[in-house]
Amino acid sequence: MKSKLPHVGTTIFSVMSALANECQAINLSQGFPNFPVDQRLISLIQENSLTNVHQYAPMTGIVELREQIVQKINLHYQRELDPSNVLITAGATQAIFATIQALVHPGEEVIILDPSYDCYESPVILSGAKAIRIPLSDNFLPDWDHIRSKVNHQTKLIITNNPHNPSGRVWDDSDFVELQNLLNDFPNLWVLSDEVYEFISFEKKHISAHQIDGLKDRSIVVSSFGKTFHITGWKIGYLTAPDKVMAEIHKVHQFMVFSVNSPAQAALACYLPETDLHQLGTFYQEKRDYFREQMSSSRFKLLPSDGSYFQVASFENISDETDVEFCKRMTKEFGVASIPLSVFNADLADRKLIRFCFAKDQETLSSAAQRLCKI
């Protein structure tokens, strides 16, 4: 059969998690927490499932949840939004897919910054548009001169991801100035701002597109409850968008999923006002620091991690295998699974870098580090 996505295989996350299971390795590859979810959230999903929440939710999401999201955005980013500018989605993945399908026309161009999270390119290709993959700088921050040289009047969207997966880097103020300048020069350009790790940043604080005048009204901002509340399997998140864009996203969303799991929405609407998301950065910073300390005697070179729950490490002192070969061998022979970075580059450029997920309990991080220190 003629494939619509001939270059797409199975995602690296499925590949490495399957290999980790097969080898009974410690799985620091796919990004998901292995510690318990807040008991209060479990109680709320139980309580809510005993009420009348089992039929379709409204297409855009229940208003109670959208109102709570509006309040959180106001608290963290001092932005006033109307609940009609919030759409509940089946995770960030569906938010991204629906946005691209709604906005991007055949022949238009979409800027993707590499290494890029792997769900961005396919919806662009399926829209008949062209993905323009631009490498980030060596330090994984945007190379604005390069980006600017690729933007033209056909460019519809630039997809940004901050805090960044896989590198864990967080943007500087100056990056936002550059992005605003670009938007000023290209009035038809939109930003798809993937901020799923928005509440997980460390010394350098995350700045959101919600906070920047000149950016917020030109952005679709994507968030994930999976990341924020350690519930990746619930597959629930949201996006915010200005009125005219939201109207188009609704048209796609209603025929992709129509609406999202209603017990989860009801539970999260109750849970959100009880949570203090200011603590999440500290919670993960302790894990990052613990993992880095445990790894200090290893031969890996650890790169900076400013946010997200990922730690990138160079293995150039250990092996000259490709990063994919090295990750696979490390899983099989040393019992620790990780993610190779090359698969997130359009040209598969291999810089001998791999990604560890530190969203794990101390015991797991310590056992993994012990194994890694023997390599």
Site residues, ligand GLN (CB under 6 A): 11, 13, 30-31, 165
H or E segment at 281?
Answer: helix 280-294
In the complex, minimum distance from the CB of residue 144 to ligand GLN, in angstroms, rounded to a whole number: 25
Residue 13 touches which member of ligand PMP, ligand GLN, none, C-beta under 5-8 Å by kind? ligand GLN
**Tokens encoding 175:** 């990056």
In the complex, minimum distance from the CB of residue 360 to ligand GLN, in angstroms, rounded to a whole number: 13
In whole angstroms, what is the distance from residue 84 CA to residue 261 CA?
A: 19
Residue 194 touches which member of ligand GLN, ligand PMP, none, C-beta under 5-8 Å by kind? ligand PMP
Residue 141 touches which member of ligand PMP, ligand GLN, none, C-beta under 5-8 Å by kind? none
CB atoms within 10 A of CB 71: 13
- If the CB atoms of residues 61 and 91 are measured against ligand PMP, the closer one turns out to be 91
Task: With beta carbons less than 8 A apart as the criterion, state whether 345 and 273 touch.
Answer: no
- If the CB atoms of residues 66 and 169 are measured against ligand GLN, the closer one turns out to be 169
Residue 201 DSSP class: B
In the complex, minimum distance from the CB of residue 11 to ligand GLN, in angstroms, rounded to a whole number: 6
Residue nearest to ligand GLN (CB): 31
**Tokens encoding 277:** 């998301």
Q: Which residues bind ligand PMP (CB under 6 A)?
A: 31, 91-93, 117, 161, 165, 194, 196, 224, 226-227, 232, 237
In whole angstroms, what is the distance from residue 262 CA to residue 55 CA?
A: 7
In the complex, minimum distance from the CB of residue 5 to ligand GLN, in angstroms, rounded to a whole number: 16
In the complex, minimum distance from the CB of residue 246 to ligand GLN, in angstroms, rounded to a whole number: 25
Its sign, for the CA torsion 160, 164, 165, 167, is: positive
Residue 161 touches which member of ligand GLN, ligand PMP, none, C-beta under 5-8 Å by kind? ligand PMP
- If the CB atoms of residues 11 and 184 are measured against ligand GLN, the closer one turns out to be 11
Return the SS3 of 124. Answer: helix
In whole angstroms, what is the distance from residue 44 CA to residue 229 CA?
A: 13
Residue 226 touches which member of ligand GLN, ligand PMP, none, C-beta under 5-8 Å by kind? ligand PMP
Residue 83 touches which member of ligand GLN, ligand PMP, none, C-beta under 5-8 Å by kind? none
Residue 91 touches which member of ligand GLN, ligand PMP, none, C-beta under 5-8 Å by kind? ligand PMP
In the complex, minimum distance from the CB of residue 310 to ligand PMP, in angstroms, rounded to a whole number: 9
Identity (one letter) of the amino acid at 164? H
- If the CB atoms of residues 263 and 294 are measured against ligand PMP, the closer one turns out to be 263
Residue 115 touches which member of ligand GLN, ligand PMP, none, C-beta under 5-8 Å by kind? none
Query: Distance from CA of residue 132 to its chain's centroid?
Result: 19
- If the CB atoms of residues 13 and 334 are measured against ligand GLN, the closer one turns out to be 13
- If the CB atoms of residues 31 and 281 are measured against ligand GLN, the closer one turns out to be 31
Q: Are β-strands 155-161 and 190-194 bridged in parallel, bridged antiparallel, or unpaired?
A: parallel
Spatial CA neighbour of 266 closest among 85, 88, 73, 80: 88
- If the CB atoms of residues 171 and 309 are measured against ligand GLN, the closer one turns out to be 309
In the complex, minimum distance from the CB of residue 345 to ligand GLN, in angstroms, rounded to a whole number: 15
Which parts of the chain are beta strand (E)? 26-27, 86-89, 109-114, 130-135, 155-161, 190-194, 219-224, 237-240, 301-302, 310-314, 336-337, 339-340, 353-357
In the complex, minimum distance from the CB of residue 272 to ligand PMP, in angstroms, rounded to a whole number: 16
Q: Residue 192: CB partners within 8 Å, gap ≥ 6?
A: 96, 99, 100, 157, 158, 159, 160, 219, 220, 222
